[in-house]
Amino acid sequence: MFTGLGHHLRFLRRIFALEIPSRSVPLPPFPVPSNPFSVTLTEAAVGSLLRPPSFYLHRMRRRIPTERIQFCTLTAQPEHSDASPYLSVRIRCLKRDADMLSDALLCFGANSASMDELSDSHDLDEIWITCIFADHQDVHTCISQAVGSFGLNYVPKYEISAGKICDWTTNVQESFHPIEVVTGLWIVPKWREPPDLQATNIILDPGMAFGTGEHPTTKLCLMLLHRLLHGGELLLDYGTGSGILGIAAVKMGASSSVGIDIEPQAVISARENVALNGISSSKMSVYLVPNATGTSNADEETENPEKRTLLGFQPDCSKGKFDFIIANILLNPLIELAVDIVSYGRPGSNIGLSGILSEQVQQIKEIYSQYLENISVSDMEGWACIHGTKKEKLDM
Amino acid sequence: MATLKDVAARRPIAATIRLIVPAGGARPAPPVGPALGQYRLNLMAFCKDFNARTQKYSPDTPMAVTITAYKDNTFEFIVKSPSVSWFLKKAAGLELGSERPGHVVASSLTLRHVYEIAKIKQTDVSCKHLSIEAICKSIIGTARSMGIEIVKDL
Protein backbone atom coordinates (compact mmCIF):
# COMPACT_ATOMS: atom_id res chain seq x y z
CA MET A 1 0.00 0.00 0.00
CA PHE A 2 2.82 2.32 0.87
CA THR A 3 4.68 1.62 -2.34
CA GLY A 4 1.42 2.17 -4.18
CA LEU A 5 1.14 5.63 -2.70
CA GLY A 6 4.77 6.36 -3.36
CA HIS A 7 4.24 5.43 -6.97
CA HIS A 8 1.14 7.61 -7.02
CA LEU A 9 3.19 10.52 -5.74
CA ARG A 10 5.86 10.07 -8.36
CA PHE A 11 3.18 9.99 -11.01
CA LEU A 12 1.67 13.17 -9.61
CA ARG A 13 5.05 14.82 -9.44
CA ARG A 14 5.54 14.31 -13.13
CA ILE A 15 2.10 15.41 -14.14
CA PHE A 16 1.76 18.45 -11.93
CA ALA A 17 5.46 19.25 -11.53
CA LEU A 18 4.88 19.95 -7.87
CA GLU A 19 7.83 20.49 -5.62
CA ILE A 20 6.74 17.83 -3.22
CA PRO A 21 9.39 18.25 -0.51
CA SER A 22 11.91 15.44 -0.32
CA ARG A 23 12.34 13.39 2.82
CA SER A 24 15.35 15.36 4.13
CA VAL A 25 13.06 18.21 5.17
CA PRO A 26 10.84 17.81 8.27
CA LEU A 27 7.40 16.77 7.01
CA PRO A 28 4.30 15.07 8.24
CA PRO A 29 5.50 11.48 8.38
CA PHE A 30 3.09 10.08 5.80
CA PRO A 31 2.09 11.82 2.58
CA VAL A 32 -1.60 11.81 3.39
CA PRO A 33 -3.97 11.53 0.45
CA SER A 34 -6.17 14.30 1.82
CA ASN A 35 -3.24 16.72 1.46
CA PRO A 36 -4.73 19.53 -0.58
CA PHE A 37 -1.47 19.98 -2.43
CA SER A 38 -1.26 16.59 -3.93
CA VAL A 39 -4.47 16.38 -5.88
CA THR A 40 -6.96 18.96 -7.03
CA LEU A 41 -7.76 18.33 -10.59
CA THR A 42 -9.42 21.69 -11.12
CA GLU A 43 -9.56 23.50 -14.39
CA ALA A 44 -7.30 26.21 -13.09
CA ALA A 45 -4.65 23.78 -11.86
CA VAL A 46 -4.40 22.06 -15.19
CA GLY A 47 -4.64 25.39 -16.96
CA SER A 48 -1.77 26.88 -15.03
CA LEU A 49 0.30 23.92 -16.12
CA LEU A 50 -0.50 24.17 -19.76
CA ARG A 51 0.09 27.90 -19.97
CA PRO A 52 3.77 28.14 -19.13
CA PRO A 53 5.87 26.03 -21.47
CA SER A 54 7.48 22.97 -19.92
CA PHE A 55 11.01 24.30 -20.04
CA TYR A 56 9.93 26.93 -17.49
CA LEU A 57 9.21 24.28 -14.95
CA HIS A 58 12.58 22.65 -15.40
CA ARG A 59 14.29 26.01 -15.01
CA MET A 60 12.31 26.78 -11.90
CA ARG A 61 13.00 23.43 -10.36
CA ARG A 62 16.70 23.69 -10.95
CA ARG A 63 16.74 27.10 -9.32
CA ILE A 64 18.74 26.31 -6.19
CA PRO A 65 18.95 29.23 -3.75
CA THR A 66 22.52 30.00 -4.80
CA GLU A 67 22.41 33.50 -3.37
CA ARG A 68 22.29 32.07 0.10
CA ILE A 69 25.22 29.69 -0.36
CA GLN A 70 27.45 32.47 -1.63
CA PHE A 71 26.99 34.53 1.53
CA CYS A 72 27.48 31.69 3.93
CA THR A 73 31.17 31.75 4.66
CA LEU A 74 30.96 28.98 7.25
CA THR A 75 33.75 30.45 9.35
CA ALA A 76 33.94 29.49 12.99
CA GLN A 77 31.26 31.85 14.22
CA PRO A 78 30.67 31.73 17.97
CA GLU A 79 27.37 30.03 18.76
CA HIS A 80 25.03 32.71 19.96
CA SER A 81 22.56 31.84 22.62
CA ASP A 82 19.60 32.23 20.30
CA ALA A 83 21.24 30.88 17.16
CA SER A 84 18.45 28.72 15.86
CA PRO A 85 18.27 27.45 12.34
CA TYR A 86 15.22 28.46 10.39
CA LEU A 87 13.35 27.33 7.32
CA SER A 88 13.32 29.47 4.25
CA VAL A 89 10.59 28.81 1.73
CA ARG A 90 10.35 30.31 -1.73
CA ILE A 91 6.83 30.40 -3.08
CA ARG A 92 5.89 31.31 -6.58
CA CYS A 93 2.56 32.94 -7.32
CA LEU A 94 0.87 35.52 -9.53
CA LYS A 95 1.69 39.16 -8.87
CA ARG A 96 -1.85 40.19 -8.16
CA ASP A 97 -2.17 37.57 -5.42
CA ALA A 98 1.20 38.26 -3.85
CA ASP A 99 0.03 40.87 -1.31
CA MET A 100 -2.88 38.82 -0.05
CA LEU A 101 -0.83 35.67 0.07
CA SER A 102 1.93 37.33 2.12
CA ASP A 103 -0.59 38.64 4.63
CA ALA A 104 -2.32 35.27 4.84
CA LEU A 105 0.99 33.48 5.37
CA LEU A 106 1.83 35.82 8.24
CA CYS A 107 -1.53 35.06 9.84
CA PHE A 108 -1.00 31.35 9.64
CA GLY A 109 2.43 31.04 11.17
CA ALA A 110 5.13 32.47 8.92
CA ASN A 111 7.56 34.72 10.74
CA SER A 112 8.11 36.92 7.74
CA ALA A 113 7.25 37.21 4.07
CA SER A 114 9.40 39.18 1.64
CA MET A 115 8.86 40.01 -1.98
CA ASP A 116 11.61 41.00 -4.33
CA GLU A 117 10.85 43.73 -6.81
CA LEU A 118 11.73 42.39 -10.21
CA SER A 119 12.19 45.36 -12.49
CA ASP A 120 12.82 43.24 -15.53
CA SER A 121 10.65 40.29 -14.74
CA HIS A 122 11.15 37.57 -17.29
CA ASP A 123 8.84 35.50 -15.18
CA LEU A 124 5.84 37.08 -16.86
CA ASP A 125 3.33 38.03 -14.19
CA GLU A 126 4.61 35.71 -11.51
CA ILE A 127 6.62 36.66 -8.48
CA TRP A 128 8.62 34.93 -5.78
CA ILE A 129 7.75 35.30 -2.12
CA THR A 130 10.40 34.30 0.38
CA CYS A 131 9.00 33.18 3.71
CA ILE A 132 10.82 32.45 6.88
CA PHE A 133 9.48 29.89 9.29
CA ALA A 134 10.74 28.70 12.65
CA ASP A 135 12.61 25.43 12.51
CA HIS A 136 9.93 23.08 13.79
CA GLN A 137 6.95 24.49 11.95
CA ASP A 138 4.75 22.60 9.56
CA VAL A 139 5.24 24.59 6.39
CA HIS A 140 2.84 22.40 4.40
CA THR A 141 -0.16 23.07 6.63
CA CYS A 142 0.57 26.74 6.94
CA ILE A 143 0.72 27.27 3.21
CA SER A 144 -2.39 25.23 2.53
CA GLN A 145 -4.31 27.13 5.21
CA ALA A 146 -3.12 30.46 3.87
CA VAL A 147 -4.09 29.53 0.33
CA GLY A 148 -7.48 28.26 1.45
CA SER A 149 -8.24 31.31 3.58
CA PHE A 150 -8.84 33.64 0.69
CA GLY A 151 -9.80 31.15 -1.96
CA LEU A 152 -6.79 31.09 -4.23
CA ASN A 153 -7.86 29.01 -7.19
CA TYR A 154 -4.48 27.59 -8.07
CA VAL A 155 -1.79 25.82 -6.15
CA PRO A 156 1.41 27.85 -5.79
CA LYS A 157 4.63 25.94 -6.19
CA TYR A 158 7.23 26.21 -3.48
CA GLU A 159 10.62 24.93 -2.38
CA ILE A 160 11.98 24.66 1.13
CA SER A 161 15.58 25.16 2.19
CA ALA A 162 17.19 25.32 5.59
CA GLY A 163 18.70 28.64 6.54
CA LYS A 164 21.81 29.01 8.66
CA ILE A 165 22.81 31.80 11.03
CA CYS A 166 25.90 32.70 9.01
CA ASP A 167 23.71 33.48 6.03
CA TRP A 168 22.65 36.83 7.36
CA THR A 169 25.14 37.81 10.05
CA THR A 170 28.01 38.14 7.57
CA ASN A 171 25.85 40.30 5.29
CA VAL A 172 25.18 42.74 8.07
CA GLN A 173 28.78 42.93 9.20
CA GLU A 174 29.96 43.90 5.73
CA SER A 175 28.00 47.13 5.88
CA PHE A 176 29.94 48.72 8.79
CA HIS A 177 32.48 51.38 7.92
CA PRO A 178 34.68 53.67 10.05
CA ILE A 179 32.77 56.74 11.23
CA GLU A 180 34.04 60.03 12.56
CA VAL A 181 31.60 61.07 15.27
CA VAL A 182 33.28 64.31 16.34
CA THR A 183 36.54 65.65 15.01
CA GLY A 184 39.24 63.40 16.29
CA LEU A 185 37.04 60.54 17.39
CA TRP A 186 36.56 57.58 15.10
CA ILE A 187 34.65 54.34 15.50
CA VAL A 188 36.30 51.61 13.48
CA PRO A 189 34.97 48.10 12.97
CA LYS A 190 37.42 45.38 13.92
CA TRP A 191 37.93 44.19 10.35
CA ARG A 192 38.87 47.59 8.87
CA GLU A 193 41.87 49.91 9.18
CA PRO A 194 41.51 53.20 11.06
CA PRO A 195 41.70 56.01 8.50
CA ASP A 196 43.47 58.39 10.91
CA LEU A 197 45.96 56.79 13.25
CA GLN A 198 46.51 60.01 15.24
CA ALA A 199 42.89 60.36 16.26
CA THR A 200 41.17 58.59 19.12
CA ASN A 201 40.05 55.34 17.58
CA ILE A 202 37.55 53.03 19.17
CA ILE A 203 37.73 49.56 17.68
CA LEU A 204 34.51 47.61 17.77
CA ASP A 205 33.13 44.22 17.03
CA PRO A 206 29.50 44.71 17.93
CA GLY A 207 28.32 41.20 17.13
CA MET A 208 24.72 40.86 18.22
CA ALA A 209 24.81 43.76 20.67
CA PHE A 210 23.67 47.30 20.04
CA GLY A 211 26.16 50.08 19.49
CA THR A 212 28.09 50.41 16.27
CA GLY A 213 28.38 54.17 16.40
CA GLU A 214 26.17 54.73 13.40
CA HIS A 215 22.94 55.36 15.24
CA PRO A 216 22.05 58.98 16.07
CA THR A 217 21.58 58.11 19.75
CA THR A 218 25.10 56.67 20.03
CA LYS A 219 26.47 59.78 18.32
CA LEU A 220 24.51 62.09 20.63
CA CYS A 221 25.84 60.28 23.69
CA LEU A 222 29.41 60.35 22.40
CA MET A 223 29.15 64.07 21.72
CA LEU A 224 27.82 64.59 25.25
CA LEU A 225 30.75 62.67 26.71
CA HIS A 226 33.20 64.58 24.54
CA ARG A 227 31.74 67.84 25.73
CA LEU A 228 31.55 67.12 29.46
CA LEU A 229 34.34 64.72 30.40
CA HIS A 230 37.45 66.47 31.67
CA GLY A 231 39.32 63.56 33.10
CA GLY A 232 39.39 61.34 36.16
CA GLU A 233 35.69 60.58 36.32
CA LEU A 234 34.05 57.35 37.32
CA LEU A 235 31.47 56.46 34.68
CA LEU A 236 28.52 54.05 34.70
CA ASP A 237 27.30 52.83 31.32
CA TYR A 238 23.78 51.65 32.09
CA GLY A 239 22.70 49.28 29.33
CA THR A 240 26.12 49.05 27.77
CA GLY A 241 25.35 46.94 24.67
CA SER A 242 28.64 46.67 22.80
CA GLY A 243 30.41 48.74 25.46
CA ILE A 244 31.06 51.62 23.11
CA LEU A 245 30.18 54.44 25.50
CA GLY A 246 32.20 53.07 28.41
CA ILE A 247 35.22 52.49 26.17
CA ALA A 248 34.91 55.96 24.65
CA ALA A 249 34.83 57.50 28.12
CA VAL A 250 38.05 55.76 29.16
CA LYS A 251 39.73 56.86 25.93
CA MET A 252 38.59 60.43 26.55
CA GLY A 253 40.12 60.52 29.97
CA ALA A 254 37.73 59.02 32.50
CA SER A 255 39.57 57.15 35.25
CA SER A 256 37.41 54.06 34.90
CA SER A 257 34.08 52.80 33.59
CA VAL A 258 31.60 50.19 34.66
CA GLY A 259 29.19 48.76 32.14
CA ILE A 260 26.05 46.82 33.02
CA ASP A 261 23.48 45.11 30.81
CA ILE A 262 20.68 42.56 31.14
CA GLU A 263 21.62 40.66 27.94
CA PRO A 264 24.41 38.07 28.34
CA GLN A 265 25.34 38.50 24.68
CA ALA A 266 25.90 42.20 25.22
CA VAL A 267 28.15 41.58 28.22
CA ILE A 268 30.25 39.11 26.22
CA SER A 269 30.55 41.52 23.27
CA ALA A 270 31.42 44.40 25.55
CA ARG A 271 34.18 42.46 27.31
CA GLU A 272 35.64 41.49 23.92
CA ASN A 273 35.61 45.10 22.80
CA VAL A 274 37.30 46.26 25.99
CA ALA A 275 40.12 43.80 25.28
CA LEU A 276 40.25 44.82 21.59
CA ASN A 277 40.93 48.39 22.59
CA GLY A 278 43.73 47.42 24.92
CA ILE A 279 41.89 48.52 28.04
CA SER A 280 42.52 46.46 31.12
CA SER A 281 39.59 45.13 33.10
CA SER A 282 40.55 47.32 36.05
CA LYS A 283 39.86 50.37 33.90
CA MET A 284 36.62 49.03 32.52
CA SER A 285 34.55 46.19 33.88
CA VAL A 286 31.33 44.86 32.44
CA TYR A 287 28.70 42.90 34.32
CA LEU A 288 25.46 41.09 33.71
CA VAL A 289 22.65 42.29 35.93
CA PRO A 290 19.22 40.79 36.44
CA ASN A 291 16.31 42.35 34.64
CA ALA A 292 14.84 44.60 37.33
CA THR A 293 11.51 44.99 35.51
CA GLY A 294 9.10 42.21 34.61
CA THR A 295 10.47 38.71 34.00
CA SER A 296 13.29 37.59 36.21
CA ASN A 297 15.62 34.90 34.97
CA ALA A 298 17.19 34.46 38.40
CA ASP A 299 17.02 30.66 38.41
CA GLU A 300 18.27 30.40 34.87
CA GLU A 301 21.28 32.56 35.63
CA THR A 302 22.51 30.69 38.67
CA GLU A 303 22.11 27.34 36.93
CA ASN A 304 24.00 28.33 33.82
CA PRO A 305 27.77 28.27 34.62
CA GLU A 306 28.67 30.48 31.68
CA LYS A 307 26.36 33.19 32.84
CA ARG A 308 27.76 33.07 36.34
CA THR A 309 31.11 34.34 35.10
CA LEU A 310 29.34 37.41 33.77
CA LEU A 311 27.82 38.33 37.10
CA GLY A 312 29.61 40.13 39.88
CA PHE A 313 28.14 43.59 40.03
CA GLN A 314 27.61 44.78 43.59
CA PRO A 315 24.83 47.32 43.34
CA ASP A 316 24.77 48.25 47.03
CA CYS A 317 28.46 49.18 47.12
CA SER A 318 28.12 51.26 43.99
CA LYS A 319 25.25 53.52 44.93
CA GLY A 320 26.16 57.18 45.02
CA LYS A 321 29.68 56.61 43.71
CA PHE A 322 29.63 57.56 40.04
CA ASP A 323 30.46 60.99 38.59
CA PHE A 324 28.80 60.33 35.26
CA ILE A 325 25.96 58.01 34.30
CA ILE A 326 24.97 57.40 30.72
CA ALA A 327 21.93 55.32 29.78
CA ASN A 328 21.16 54.76 26.11
CA ILE A 329 18.20 52.38 26.27
CA LEU A 330 14.48 52.89 25.55
CA LEU A 331 11.63 55.01 26.88
CA ASN A 332 9.91 52.42 29.07
CA PRO A 333 13.00 51.12 30.87
CA LEU A 334 14.16 54.72 31.43
CA ILE A 335 10.88 55.54 33.11
CA GLU A 336 10.59 52.36 35.14
CA LEU A 337 14.20 52.37 36.30
CA ALA A 338 14.51 56.11 36.94
CA VAL A 339 15.10 55.68 40.67
CA ASP A 340 17.64 52.92 40.08
CA ILE A 341 19.59 54.85 37.43
CA VAL A 342 19.80 58.04 39.45
CA SER A 343 20.72 56.26 42.69
CA TYR A 344 24.16 55.31 41.38
CA GLY A 345 25.26 58.91 40.99
CA ARG A 346 26.82 61.14 43.62
CA PRO A 347 25.08 64.49 44.23
CA GLY A 348 25.89 66.83 41.36
CA SER A 349 26.83 64.02 38.99
CA ASN A 350 26.09 64.26 35.29
CA ILE A 351 23.36 62.01 33.97
CA GLY A 352 22.77 61.45 30.25
CA LEU A 353 19.71 59.62 28.89
CA SER A 354 19.07 58.58 25.31
CA GLY A 355 17.40 56.02 23.07
CA ILE A 356 14.30 58.16 22.94
CA LEU A 357 12.49 59.83 20.09
CA SER A 358 12.05 63.59 20.17
CA GLU A 359 8.33 63.16 20.87
CA GLN A 360 9.11 61.09 24.00
CA VAL A 361 11.30 63.80 25.58
CA GLN A 362 8.43 65.36 27.53
CA GLN A 363 7.62 62.10 29.34
CA ILE A 364 11.24 61.66 30.40
CA LYS A 365 11.47 65.26 31.56
CA GLU A 366 8.39 64.86 33.75
CA ILE A 367 9.77 61.82 35.55
CA TYR A 368 13.36 62.98 35.87
CA SER A 369 12.73 66.58 36.86
CA GLN A 370 12.27 65.40 40.44
CA TYR A 371 15.83 64.04 40.48
CA LEU A 372 17.73 66.24 38.05
CA GLU A 373 18.27 69.93 37.55
CA ASN A 374 19.64 71.98 34.62
CA ILE A 375 17.99 69.63 32.16
CA SER A 376 19.01 70.23 28.56
CA VAL A 377 18.02 68.37 25.41
CA SER A 378 20.02 67.78 22.25
CA ASP A 379 18.59 66.08 19.21
CA MET A 380 19.57 64.62 15.87
CA GLU A 381 17.40 63.12 13.12
CA GLY A 382 14.35 62.72 15.32
CA TRP A 383 16.25 61.15 18.25
CA ALA A 384 17.01 63.00 21.47
CA CYS A 385 19.47 62.96 24.34
CA ILE A 386 18.69 64.51 27.72
CA HIS A 387 21.33 65.71 30.13
CA GLY A 388 20.93 66.89 33.71
CA THR A 389 22.83 67.04 37.00
CA LYS A 390 21.65 65.13 40.02
CA LYS A 391 20.11 67.33 42.69
CA GLU A 392 22.24 67.93 45.74
CA LYS A 393 19.67 67.08 48.36
CA LEU A 394 17.57 64.03 47.57
CA ASP A 395 16.10 61.39 49.86
CA MET A 396 17.04 58.23 48.02
CA MET B 1 16.35 54.97 9.07
CA ALA B 2 16.13 57.21 6.00
CA THR B 3 13.87 60.23 6.31
CA LEU B 4 10.84 60.33 4.06
CA LYS B 5 11.50 62.67 1.15
CA ASP B 6 8.96 63.68 -1.48
CA VAL B 7 7.42 60.90 -3.48
CA ALA B 8 8.82 62.23 -6.75
CA ALA B 9 12.33 61.27 -5.69
CA ARG B 10 11.50 57.60 -5.34
CA ARG B 11 14.48 55.34 -5.10
CA PRO B 12 14.54 51.93 -6.74
CA ILE B 13 12.95 49.39 -4.46
CA ALA B 14 14.74 46.13 -3.87
CA ALA B 15 12.08 44.33 -1.86
CA THR B 16 9.03 44.56 0.37
CA ILE B 17 9.25 42.65 3.63
CA ARG B 18 6.36 41.92 5.94
CA LEU B 19 6.97 40.81 9.50
CA ILE B 20 5.20 40.28 12.75
CA VAL B 21 7.32 41.45 15.67
CA PRO B 22 6.35 41.83 19.34
CA ALA B 23 6.27 45.49 20.40
CA GLY B 24 9.52 46.57 22.00
CA GLY B 25 10.99 43.14 21.33
CA ALA B 26 12.85 43.41 18.05
CA ARG B 27 16.20 41.60 18.30
CA PRO B 28 18.80 40.68 15.68
CA ALA B 29 17.63 37.07 15.74
CA PRO B 30 14.99 35.23 13.75
CA PRO B 31 12.47 36.46 12.56
CA VAL B 32 14.01 39.90 12.16
CA GLY B 33 17.57 38.76 11.46
CA PRO B 34 17.25 36.56 8.40
CA ALA B 35 14.45 38.59 6.85
CA LEU B 36 16.39 41.86 6.90
CA GLY B 37 19.87 40.40 6.76
CA GLN B 38 19.37 38.89 3.34
CA TYR B 39 18.93 42.40 1.93
CA ARG B 40 21.92 43.76 3.89
CA LEU B 41 19.85 46.18 5.94
CA ASN B 42 21.12 47.66 9.17
CA LEU B 43 19.53 45.32 11.70
CA MET B 44 20.45 47.32 14.75
CA ALA B 45 19.06 50.55 13.39
CA PHE B 46 15.78 48.83 12.61
CA CYS B 47 15.55 47.14 16.02
CA LYS B 48 16.27 50.33 17.92
CA ASP B 49 13.91 52.38 15.78
CA PHE B 50 11.11 49.83 15.95
CA ASN B 51 11.48 49.34 19.70
CA ALA B 52 11.46 53.07 20.34
CA ARG B 53 8.37 53.61 18.22
CA THR B 54 6.43 50.76 19.82
CA GLN B 55 7.13 51.74 23.43
CA LYS B 56 3.57 52.91 23.88
CA TYR B 57 2.20 49.39 23.33
CA SER B 58 2.37 46.78 26.05
CA PRO B 59 5.26 44.35 25.52
CA ASP B 60 4.71 41.36 23.24
CA THR B 61 1.77 42.89 21.40
CA PRO B 62 2.21 41.50 17.89
CA MET B 63 2.81 44.41 15.52
CA ALA B 64 2.66 44.07 11.77
CA VAL B 65 5.58 45.84 10.10
CA THR B 66 6.02 46.46 6.39
CA ILE B 67 9.57 47.35 5.41
CA THR B 68 10.48 48.80 2.02
CA ALA B 69 14.09 48.01 1.28
CA TYR B 70 15.80 50.15 -1.35
CA LYS B 71 18.60 49.04 -3.60
CA ASP B 72 21.12 51.29 -1.80
CA ASN B 73 20.63 49.29 1.44
CA THR B 74 18.53 51.97 3.09
CA PHE B 75 15.01 51.23 4.20
CA GLU B 76 11.78 52.68 5.48
CA PHE B 77 9.14 50.93 7.49
CA ILE B 78 5.56 51.35 8.56
CA VAL B 79 4.29 49.87 11.80
CA LYS B 80 0.64 48.93 11.92
CA SER B 81 -1.27 48.50 15.12
CA PRO B 82 -2.60 44.99 15.79
CA SER B 83 -5.86 43.97 14.14
CA VAL B 84 -9.18 45.07 15.63
CA SER B 85 -10.09 41.45 16.35
CA TRP B 86 -6.93 41.09 18.44
CA PHE B 87 -7.85 44.17 20.50
CA LEU B 88 -11.39 42.95 20.99
CA LYS B 89 -10.25 39.53 22.13
CA LYS B 90 -7.79 41.09 24.54
CA ALA B 91 -10.37 43.51 25.95
CA ALA B 92 -12.92 40.74 26.40
CA GLY B 93 -10.35 38.31 27.79
CA LEU B 94 -11.08 35.71 25.11
CA GLU B 95 -8.80 33.29 23.31
CA LEU B 96 -11.16 32.76 20.38
CA GLY B 97 -14.24 34.49 19.09
CA SER B 98 -17.65 32.91 19.38
CA GLU B 99 -18.23 29.65 17.54
CA ARG B 100 -21.55 30.79 16.15
CA PRO B 101 -21.45 34.55 15.83
CA GLY B 102 -24.91 36.07 15.71
CA HIS B 103 -26.33 33.21 17.74
CA VAL B 104 -23.96 32.64 20.62
CA VAL B 105 -22.57 35.66 22.44
CA ALA B 106 -18.99 35.09 23.56
CA SER B 107 -18.61 38.20 25.70
CA SER B 108 -19.69 41.82 26.03
CA LEU B 109 -17.82 45.10 25.91
CA THR B 110 -18.89 48.66 26.51
CA LEU B 111 -18.78 51.63 24.20
CA ARG B 112 -15.91 52.92 26.31
CA HIS B 113 -13.79 49.95 25.15
CA VAL B 114 -14.74 50.61 21.54
CA TYR B 115 -13.76 54.25 21.88
CA GLU B 116 -10.38 53.39 23.39
CA ILE B 117 -9.65 50.92 20.59
CA ALA B 118 -10.74 53.50 18.01
CA LYS B 119 -8.31 56.04 19.47
CA ILE B 120 -5.40 53.64 19.06
CA LYS B 121 -6.52 52.69 15.56
CA GLN B 122 -6.69 56.30 14.50
CA THR B 123 -2.93 56.61 14.82
CA ASP B 124 -2.64 53.95 12.13
CA VAL B 125 -1.73 55.22 8.69
CA SER B 126 -4.63 53.48 6.97
CA CYS B 127 -7.25 54.98 9.29
CA LYS B 128 -5.95 58.54 9.62
CA HIS B 129 -8.49 60.03 7.30
CA LEU B 130 -11.49 58.43 9.00
CA SER B 131 -13.48 60.09 11.76
CA ILE B 132 -13.57 58.46 15.20
CA GLU B 133 -17.24 57.73 14.62
CA ALA B 134 -16.53 55.82 11.43
CA ILE B 135 -13.80 53.79 13.09
CA CYS B 136 -16.09 52.97 16.01
CA LYS B 137 -18.79 51.76 13.63
CA SER B 138 -16.32 49.51 11.90
CA ILE B 139 -15.13 48.11 15.24
CA ILE B 140 -18.70 47.40 16.29
CA GLY B 141 -19.19 45.57 13.00
CA THR B 142 -16.12 43.43 13.60
CA ALA B 143 -17.25 42.71 17.14
CA ARG B 144 -20.62 41.53 15.89
CA SER B 145 -18.94 39.17 13.43
CA MET B 146 -16.96 37.68 16.30
CA GLY B 147 -19.93 37.26 18.59
CA ILE B 148 -18.98 40.04 20.99
CA GLU B 149 -21.85 42.17 22.16
CA ILE B 150 -21.40 45.92 22.63
CA VAL B 151 -23.50 47.43 25.42
CA LYS B 152 -23.79 50.97 26.77
CA ASP B 153 -22.71 50.05 30.28
CA LEU B 154 -21.61 46.82 31.90
DSSP string for residues in B83-100: PHHHHHHHHHT-SS--SS
> HEC string of A258-317?
EEEECCHHHHHHHHHHHHHCCCCCCCEEEEECCCCCCCCCHHHHHHCHHHHHHCCCCHHH
ipTM, 2 dp: 0.70
Model pLDDT, residue B113: 85
Q: Examine the pLDDT at A63 and tell me if it is beyond 70.
A: no
Per-residue pLDDT tens digits for B37-86: 777 777 888 888 899 888 888 887 888 888 988 887 788 888 888 778 77
Amino acid identity of residue A210, one-letter, is F
Per-residue pLDDT tens digits for B22-42: 888 888 777 788 788 777 777
Model pLDDT, residue B5: 53
Q: Examine the pLDDT at A320 and tell me if it is beyond 90.
A: no
Q: Examine the pLDDT at A240 and tell me if it is beyond 80.
A: yes
Count of helices and strands (H, E) across chain A: 16, 14
- Of the given ranges (A199-213, A326-340, A358-372), which has the lowest mean pLDDT? A199-213
Mean predicted confidence (pLDDT) in A323-330 = 92
pLDDT band at A62 (very low <50, low <70, confident <90, very high): very low
Interface test with B, best of A332, A357, A361 (most B CBs within 10 A): A332
Respond yes or no on whether the N-terminal peptide bond of residue B31 is cis (omega within 30° of 0). yes
pLDDT band at A50 (very low <50, low <70, confident <90, very high): very low
Q: Supply the DSSP string of A188-255, one letter for each residue.
A: EETTS--S-TTSEEEEE--TTSS--S-SHHHHHHHHHHHHH--SS-EEEEES-TTSHHHHHHHHTT-S
Q: Supply the DSSP string of A16-46, one letter for each residue.
A: H---PPPTTS---SS--TT-TTT----HHHH
The more confidently predicted of residues A391 and A48 is A391
Burial of residue A333 (number of CB atoms within 10 Å: 0-12, 13-18, 19+): buried
**Nearest chain B CA: its distance from A47 CA (Å):** 29
- Nearest to residue A159, comparing CAs of A64, A35, A53? A64
Pairwise CA distance, residues B34 & B22, whole Å:
16
Amino acid identity of residue B34, one-letter, is P
Model pLDDT, residue A255: 92
Pairwise CA distance, residues A236 & B32, whole Å:
30
Model pLDDT, residue B48: 87
pLDDT band at A88 (very low <50, low <70, confident <90, very high): confident
Model pLDDT, residue A172: 62
Pairwise CA distance, residues A250 & A106, whole Å:
46
What are the chain B neighbours of A171 within 8 Å (beta carbons)?
A: 37-38, 40
What are the chain B neighbours of A114 within 8 Å (beta carbons)?
A: 15-18, 35, 38-39
Model pLDDT, residue A7: 54
What are the chain A neighbours of B29 within 8 Å (beta carbons)?
A: 80, 82-84, 208
Q: Examine the pLDDT at B134 and tell me if it is beyond 80.
A: yes
Per-residue pLDDT tens digits for B101-124: 778 888 888 888 888 888 888 877
pLDDT band at A32 (very low <50, low <70, confident <90, very high): very low
